[in-house]
Amino acid sequence: MYPSIHINLEKYRHNLNYLHHLAKEHGQTVMVVTKVFCADHKLIDVINTTDIEYIADSKIENLKKIKTDKLKVLLRIPQLSQVNEVVKYSDLSLNSELKVIEALDLAAKNINQKHRILLMFDIGDLREGIFYKSDYLPIINKILTLEHIELFGIGTNLTCFGGVIPTEETLSKLQMIKEHIEKHFSISLNMISGGNSSAIQMLNDDKLPSFINNLRIGEAFVLGRETAYGKQIENMFDDVFTLKAEIVELKEKPSMPEGLLGFDAFGKPSNFIDQGNMSRAILGIGRQDVDCENLIDGPDTNILGCSSDHLIVELKTNQYAVGSVLNFKLTYAGILRLMTSPYVRRVYENNL
């Protein structure tokens, strides 16, 4: 049955151990981020074989189902409507709103616990966090009075919305915040969580400032690439996840549609170049499962486009027939969509 997503557990384990070792050598603890594969339990079992310190996910529903002895971290700012679940199913949560932190304090009080938080600062990427230029000391002052909240540290997130690449100059903004808070309140912050897969180039170049002691890594573990410059990391696999899809139609047809041209099924104007006849295959997969832009062409294929349930591909060799299965490597967004689709079968390879 196709489509199927093939998950090589041994390659994932290799990527985890390789990068964790590198991070450890540079004084970093690591959160392995599991949201892209919906915290799939077989992959969680692989993580459990490593000595990575934390498992992190953006959804509390995922953290709730994860079976592990590792500490669980909620990445997305908690929803006010979920604070009871957050204190119950996470050991640490990333926060930026005092109102939410106060609600977490109350929720933790109700179950007689102390909840740890990382306070997020926005140093220019414009996703989550208190903007670094704002007056954050009163917020910290208030947090420190909350009996059931422990300010475990601070963090920042880059290269997610604004595409801001981590540099020593940008990260020095986080360092100033750390020093300002520690000095003003005479406290010492345990964790400075300074980045995601976009920090790996700095790690590799030995340029990651030493005040940072934690990284939250998702993409690099599944695709073996850093995300600041999009470079492949040496000795890591880019094909932990691959897709197989089946050819349901294979015909020689023109490259140019014929007739008066309007819009495609998704409202985009049609736009074609006449390249003469070509060998065209239709595969049994479509946008409901993955965007065609998220599949990577191999040497035999040229992806032409897709609709909700059809993927149209030009074949460059004649070794395929109806019923043949094509393989594709995937982008991050591709893995995300395929792992979320109930129509895609998961196949685990190289079980540990």
Which residues neighbour 257 within 8 Å (Cβ) at sequence distance 6 or greater?
270, 272
Long-range CB pairs of 25-30, under 8 A, 24+ apart, other chains included: 26/203, 26/206, 26/208, 27/210, 27/213, 28/203, 28/208, 28/212, 28/213, 28/214, 28/215, 29/53, 29/54, 29/191, 29/213, 29/214, 29/215, 30/54, 30/214, 30/215, 30/216, 30/217
Interface residue list for ligand PLP (CB under 6 A): 33, 35, 58, 75, 94, 157, 196-197, 216-220, 227
CB of 80 to ligand PLP, least distance (A): 19
Q: Which is nearer to ligand PLP, 222 or 250 (CB)?
A: 222
CA 169, chain centre distance (Å): 25
Q: Which is nearer to ligand PLP, 104 or 247 (CB)?
A: 104
Q: Which residue in the block uniquely carries the two structure tokens 């599949």?
A: 295
CB of 300 to ligand PLP, least distance (A): 30
CA distances from 204 to 30, 165, 251, 308 (A): 15, 15, 48, 41
- Number of other CB atoms surrounding residue 255 within 10 Å: 14
- Among the listed residues 35, 59, 173, 207, the single catalytic one is 35
CA 165, chain centre distance (Å): 16
Q: Is 59 noted as a catalytic residue in this protein?
A: no
Cα–Cα dist 126/281, whole Å: 42
CB of 315 to ligand PLP, least distance (A): 33
CB of 121 to ligand PLP, least distance (A): 12
Q: Which residue in the block uniquely carries the two structure tokens 């998220």?
A: 294
Instruction: Give the nearest residue (CB) to ligand PLP.
Output: 218
CA distances from 71 to 66, 195, 226, 297 (A): 11, 18, 24, 38
Q: Which is nearer to ligand PLP, 75 or 339 (CB)?
A: 75
Q: Which is nearer to ligand PLP, 173 or 253 (CB)?
A: 173
CB of 127 to ligand PLP, least distance (A): 8
Q: Which is nearer to ligand PLP, 163 or 298 (CB)?
A: 163
Q: Which is nearer to ligand PLP, 5 or 281 (CB)?
A: 5
CB of 71 to ligand PLP, least distance (A): 15
CB 39 within 8 A of CB 74: no
CB 155 within 8 A of CB 94: yes
Q: Which residue in the block uniquely carries the two structure tokens 């592990």?
A: 68
CB 22 within 8 A of CB 204: yes
Cα–Cα dist 328/127, whole Å: 31
Residue numbers annotated as active site: 35
